[in-house]
Structures are given as structure tokens and as C-alpha cells.
Structure 1
Amino acid sequence: MTTSESMVYRVVPKCACSSIGQIMYFSDHGEFFDGDIHDATSGLHKWAIDDSQSLIADNVTTHRSYAFTCVRNPYTRILSSFFDKICGIQRNGRRYRGNLVPQIIQKYGIEVGGEDGKQEFDQIRSFRRFLLFARDTIRFRRPMDPDIHWSPVASHVSTFIANGGRYDHIFWTEKFNDGMQGVLDAVETPKPVDLAAIPRFNESEGHGPKRAHPVEDYFDDLSMHLVYEIYKKDFLLFGYDPQDPSNKMPVREIDLTEVHAKLGD
């Protein structure tokens, strides 16, 4: 939530959250946070900051501010998670979550591009094995609980509703400018925001190897079945096409009433 309480955003990992956070920060202060916005401990209210929790909870339950979130195509999101979190070296210079990657290498036989993530390897074969691991964490919570970066978007979106929140707007990463402009048009910010002049903050870019193939090449029939099994609600609620991994764009509008009804249980 902005410190001015102009807007409330439910963060969804791998869905333009760095850019959105920086825009919110800028809208209050007229400048960007110097560094990864996820590291900011002031200038924004965050649930992870103890002093912010009561302010956010009170705002959300009384629906005092404009509330929104952003979603992404399940195919490109899970691919991005693989290259960033599994193959990539994180900004602290180490692998993501310590022994996570060695464990997947051992148990699922994936490759990650060597010690630095820059060596050539069979990306398609390793990704498909990672997809089995992601499915096991989400469906069976084995060999560990699911990670926030590949947990279904619907799961993230639902906690806001379950805790008394109501969304005014949900937009697509794939139509970011239109969606974010819709938010800015609906609120009054202390500082003006010219969205066209705002850079994109992709904090995960460069962590891992470049994707060597088109998105659709990573998904055979079995992989598509697994993705639909894991992310069925994401496809149905947020308007994406489960039959065509090559089409990252939504194929129908998001029905906010349906989202609140289906995720409010």
C-alpha cells in the first residue's frame, strides 16, 4: 500500500511486481527506490513490515482505497520461474533457497547450466522435469511446500479476498500499460505519474540463461496436461488459453464478480 493510502496492491510474484512496486513508490515520492523494491523497508507499507500490518488490514477491510492486482499467463510464468529461480544465480550471488536446486538436480535429474547458470544444457528436457517437481510441490506438498514463484496466481489472489478484501481491478501483465494506466486514472496520487516515461523494472532479468526456444517448444502434450492440472483456475478465471502455449495473450475478459465468487470460499 502506498504511504498516502492512494492504492492497495496484492503482490503476485512473477507478474510485473517490481515495476508496480516502483510505480507506487514513485507516485508518493516523485522518485524511484534506489535498488530492488522488494528490499525497501520504508516508503511503502508492506505486510512484511510489522508497523504496516494494522494500517493495511484496516484499509483493506473497510475498502478505503482502490485495490488491484496483476496476473500472468501460466505458461510464461512457470517458464520464467524456471530460468530465474532454478537456473539463475540470485542477486546475493548464491542459488535460490540454498539446497533447493541441488535437491531438484538429484531427485528429478535436471540440469541448470553449470555452476554459473551460463553453460549450455538441454533446456526443454530439464524444464519438463522441473514441471514435475512444481506439480509435486503444489498437488502433494512434496518434497516441499510450493514456492511463491510457481504457486498458482489464483492462490495468491484469493488470500486478499479471504481476508476481507475486494478488488477494484485485475489486469494482465501482457497488457501492462493499459492495465496500470487504468489504476492511475482511478486514483489521486501525491506525485504525477507519466506511465510512458516509467522504465520497466525486471529484477529477475539476467539471473539465469536466456531462453533458447519459443515458449511452445517447452510444452509437449504431457506438459500441457500438467500445466492445466496445476493452473486450471488461472486459465479459467483470468482468461488465458490452455490449448495454445504460443499465445500468451488473454482470450477473454476477467469477470471480477466471478473471481470474487470462485476465490472467496
Structure 2
Amino acid sequence: MMRRHWLLVGACGWVLLILMFVSKFINFSFRIADDYGGRAEMLNWTYLSMKTVKPLPEQPVQKAASQPSPASSGGPTEADLSDWEAVTVQRLQLLSTVCRNSSLWNLTRTPLRKFVLDRIFVCDKHKILFCQTPKVGNTQWKKVLIVLNGKFSKVEEIPENVVHDHERNGLPRLSSMSDAEITERLHTYFKFFIVRDPFERLISAFKDKFVKNPRFEPWYKHNIAPAIIRKYRKSHRDTGESAGLHFEDFIRYLGDEPGRQHLDRQFGDHIIHWLTYTELCAPCDIAYNVVGHHETLERDAPYILKAAGIADLVSYPTIPPGITRYNQTKVVRYFSGISKRDVRRLYARYQGDFSLFGYHRPDFLMD
């Protein structure tokens, strides 16, 4: 009997040792979805070509904006919001300076056409215009506008399937109005949009459309991905189209000028998730009142509500701690299998976004 007892104890010990050994090689990494909807995701590495990378320290996001410390409870205080106005002024000054830089003219200017006006949602009741920049938590801002337009009384009441249904969500687009109405609103309404580190935004777009695709948009897998693979995958010997789009294929496609433009004409408006902020919102051609940053959204969201005069009418949904923070280690992991040549070509395309909004050049990927 005693012998059985010790055999059982020994077996349990071996099981524990095996589990401890295996756990070193398996990392179940969970986080909240980009739009803070509360649904957890497990990062799928199947589509990445990566090597083990030593984590780097976090990179500061902004060049010229000091950040007040968070209030001890309940979010930023009135004093914090007042201080944050200086940050907003610095961002707009930088934007104006870069817009006047003739060497970046082709990267910062875009015609004020229907495509841009389609991106701008209107709240006439409170005189607000919001330009949608996908993959920076825009779903939550759309919910705020839906409440302000009176379609629902609270953000929490809005079904997820209604937010992006533009026939049902009660959000008119600026493009639906006459030229005179458009001009009046552009000159008199409060205007804002949100930006994010350009490369981290591309990672989010790749994961959302080609790996997870939570809203079941089959054209990304069945139309766009195969077209990119056929043109940009260097070798088809080991993996064909059925293996799915690799991040390397995606980056090579994005950095290809002008070859990419031919494919983009086929893809239509589906490419909005990785277009530049210039192409989406024309920040050098529209005088925005506030440019929020995803990385400081805990500060920016209350400030935007106050600046727009709606802070007493609606609240921005709760932001899970840490979710907006720039993650340089993740960026390094995704780009570890990408050649420096392809990274430089990608940066050349998004250089306007980096410069306009104070994001550092990613030297750690390029040099």
C-alpha cells in the first residue's frame, strides 16, 4: 500500500515537470479586440514568418506632447482636460507645419472628393463631423454619434450588427448632402478624427481582415488575398493560396508603387482599412479642430467630448487598461521576417502619416 502511494506521488511529480517544460514553449496570448468590444482574441501566428526576437523597450509615440498623469480615480479631472488643450494645439501646429512642407506634398495632399466625404459622418443636432479612420477604435466613436443623433439613448444599447449598418444606424455621411450644405458644415462644425502609429495600424488591419475576419467579410479571403498572393508571394513551392495571406505578402503589396494601384482599383473601397490618413480624411485640406491619438485615447476621448460640447450628453465607452498603448515588441515580431528593403518601401508610402502626426520613424526596423 505504501509503495503504491509513493508511485502515485512520483507520477504526479513527473506530470508537473512535463507541464512546466511545455509551458515554456506555449504562450497563450490573449487581449481585447481593437474596438474594445469585450471579445477576447488569441493571436494566430500561422500566417506569420517570424524568428525569435529579444523584446525592445517601448518607443515613445509623440515628439512634442507632454502627457499629464492620470487622475487617481474616475478618469481625468477638469485641470487635466485644460492641460490637454496644449497637447491638442501642439498637434495641430505640427500638422500645419508638415502640410506646408513642399517635399512631402504628394504624401499629405488629396483631392476633397466623394471618397473622402464618404468617410465623414454627420451629427447635425450638435454640429459635429467625424472622419472615420479604420483600425483605431472608430466603432466606439460611431456609437457616440448614433446616441447623439437620437437613434439609441445609450451606447450600451446599440447592437454590434447595427453600428456598421449604414442603412440602420442613423449616421448620415457628408457625401449625401449638397455642395452648399457640405461647405457650410466644413466651415462651421466641430471636426475631429483619430490616428494611430501607422505600422501598428497595418498589423491590426491584417489580423482583422485576413486572419480573424470576425464580421465575416469573405471577399478579403476569397478575392483580395489570392490576388495579392499571386502577384507578391516570392515562392509558391511550399505554400499556395490555400495557406492564406502572409504578412510578408501584405507588406510587399502595400509598398509597391505603382503596381499596387492596379490591384486597388479591383479591390474598390475594401482597401480603406490600410489607406493613409491623408487619403481617408484629407487633413491638410480640411481644418480639423482635434486630432486624437489612439495611444492617448484615455485623455483624448474626454477632451474631445468636452471640446465638442457634448460631455454632459454622452460618455465614451470604457477603455480596458493598456489596450491603447503602443506595443513595439509586437511590431518587431510581425516585421521580423520582412526585408529592410520592403520596410523602407512601406515607410516611403506612409511617411506622410508618420510626419503629420508626430510618430517616430521606425529606425529599429529600417537601419
Counterpart position of 2:253? 133
Counterpart position of 2:308? 187
Picking from 132, 136, 140, the partner of 1:15 is 136
SS of residue in 1 equivalent to 2:160: coil
Within a 5 Å distance, the mapping from 1:1-265 to structure 2 comes to 1-29=122-150, 30-32=153-155, 33-36=158-161, 37-41=163-167, 42-47=169-174, 50=176, 52=177, 57-61=182-186, 63-89=187-213, 91-92=215-216, 94-96=218-220, 98-109=222-233, 126-136=246-256, 140-145=260-265, 147-158=271-282, 162=285, 165-189=286-310, 192-195=313-316, 198-199=317-318, 214-219=330-335, 220=338, 221-243=340-362
Q: Which structure 1 residue ranges, 5 or more long, are not aligned?
A: 118-122, 202-212, 247-265
Q: CA deviation at 1:139?
A: 6.5
The two structures have a TM-score, normalised by structure 1, of: 0.69
Counterpart position of 2:10? none
Tell me how far apart the structure 2 counterparts of residues 187 and 14 of structure 1 sit (CA, whole Å): 23
CA RMSD, aligned part only? 3.4
Identity among equivalent positions (%) equals 22
In structure 2, relative to structure 1, the CA distance for the partners of 1:98 and 1:5 (3 Å cut) is farther
SS of residue in 2 equivalent to 1:182: helix
Q: How many residues align?
A: 220
Q: CA deviation at 1:128?
A: 1.8
Per-residue CA deviation, residues 136-165 of structure 1 (Å, 9 max, x unaligned), is 26675133337211111122231x654xx3
Maintained 8 Å contact 2:133/2:193: yes
In structure 2, relative to structure 1, the CA distance for the partners of 1:182 and 1:56 (3 Å cut) is farther
Maintained 8 Å contact 1:137/1:144: no
Deviates more, 1:63-72 or 1:137-146: 137-146
Maintained 8 Å contact 2:256/2:345: no
SS of residue in 1 equivalent to 2:263: coil
Maintained 8 Å contact 2:305/2:311: no
Amino acid at match of 2:297: F
Tell me how far apart the structure 1 counterparts of residues 133 and 364 of structure 2 sit (CA, whole Å): 21
Q: CA deviation at 1:113?
A: 10
Q: CA deviation at 1:176?
A: 1.3
The two structures have a TM-score, normalised by structure 2, of: 0.51
Q: Which structure 2 residue ranges, 5 or more long, are not aligned?
A: 1-121, 321-328
Which protein is bigger by CA-based radius of gyration? 2
Amino acid at match of 2:261: R
Q: CA deviation at 1:238?
A: 0.6
Deviates more, 1:234-243 or 1:90-99: 90-99
Maintained 8 Å contact 1:75/1:245: no
Tell me how far apart the structure 1 counterparts of residues 292 and 241 of structure 2 sit (CA, whole Å): 34
Q: CA deviation at 1:114?
A: 5.8
Per-residue CA deviation, residues 163-206 of structure 1 (Å, 9 max, x unaligned), is xx3111111111112112111111233962233xx2469xxxxx
Q: CA deviation at 1:54?
A: 5.8
Higher helix proportion (structure 1 or 2) = 2
Tell me how far apart the structure 2 counterparts of residues 169 and 90 of structure 1 sit (CA, whole Å): 30
